[in-house]
Amino acid sequence: MVEPAAGNIVIDGVDIATIGLHDLRSRISIIPQDPVLFEGTICDNLDPMDEYTDEEVWAAIRATHIEGLLEKPTEKYIEDLDDDEMGVWLEGVGLNKWVKYGGNNFSVGERQLISLCRALLWKRKILVLDEATANIDNKSDQLIQTILRNEFKDCTILTIAHRLNTVMDSNRILVMDQGTVAEFDAPKNLLARDGPFTRLVASMKLNHGELVSSE
């Protein structure tokens, strides 16, 4: 978030210019197109500051359907302090499942779900999805949309996407064209008129009824 060049930005009736940048950012979660996890346990990634109980962490895990990812152990090599001894392999499951460097023992879709779990656990007021479903399959995309619909009802969600199905649950859609605002309205209103959004839908050979059926 940056200071506006003109006008103001108001969130829940509060002008963001009146609060500190740290306080503002502490209320926002961002999930990018290719999220990166850091080396450590799943619990380290979800709750790095140890602010939540195991029960709270598991509740978020179940709500985002990632418990299955934690059942298969990941090995971690531990070097022995004594140079004369061999190192050992440790296996972790559950909250102790080991996350390799960059999270490369998880697929992009799995890292998206883990990031979503973290956002749910942290209870941020604003969730920004920056092309978060661009590189995942339709099944994972649908799962993420279901989780957003059920678990983030009280959260403001800003979705940046090219996949139309990803944004059709939104209350409003902002259509950009050559860097400027072309349209801004509810999905069903955009589809009811001949504008850039309707033409985009037509170019992708998508059915209007299917797009608005989830509203």
pTM over 0.85: no
C-alpha atoms less than 13 angstroms from C-alpha of 77 in its C-beta half-sphere: 4
Three-state secondary-structure class, residue 90: strand
CB 33 within 8 A of CB 131: yes
Tokens of 24: 């503002």
Q: Does 215 fall in a domain?
A: no
Give me the domain span that covers residue 99: 10-167
Task: Give the pLDDT score at 214.
Answer: 44
Asked, for residue 49, whether it belongs to a domain, the answer is yes
pLDDT of residue 133: 79
Cα–Cα distance between 7 and 28 in angstroms, integer?
21
- Number of neighbouring beta carbons within 10 Å of residue 214: 12
- What integer pLDDT is reported at residue 77 of this predicted model? 56
Q: CATH number for the domain including 133?
A: 3.40.50.300
On whether the CB atoms of residues 125 and 155 are closer than 8 A, the answer is yes
The model's pLDDT over 50-106, given as tens digits with 9 standing for 90+, comes to 999 999 999 999 999 999 999 888 766 555 555 555 555 566 789 999 998 899 999
Kindly indicate the confidence band of residue 41, based on its pLDDT and cuts at 50, 70 and 90: very high
Instruction: Supply the mean pLDDT for the chain.
Output: 85
User: pLDDT > 70: what percent of the chain?
Assistant: 87
pLDDT digits 0-9 by tens, 135-148? 778 888 888 889 99
Please report whether residue 22 resides in a domain. Answer: yes
Q: How many domains does the chain have?
A: 1
Predicted confidence (pLDDT) at residue 175 exceeds the cutoff of 80: yes
> For 133, how many CA atoms within 13 A lie in the half-sphere containing its CB?
21
The confidence score (pLDDT) of residue 168 equals: 87
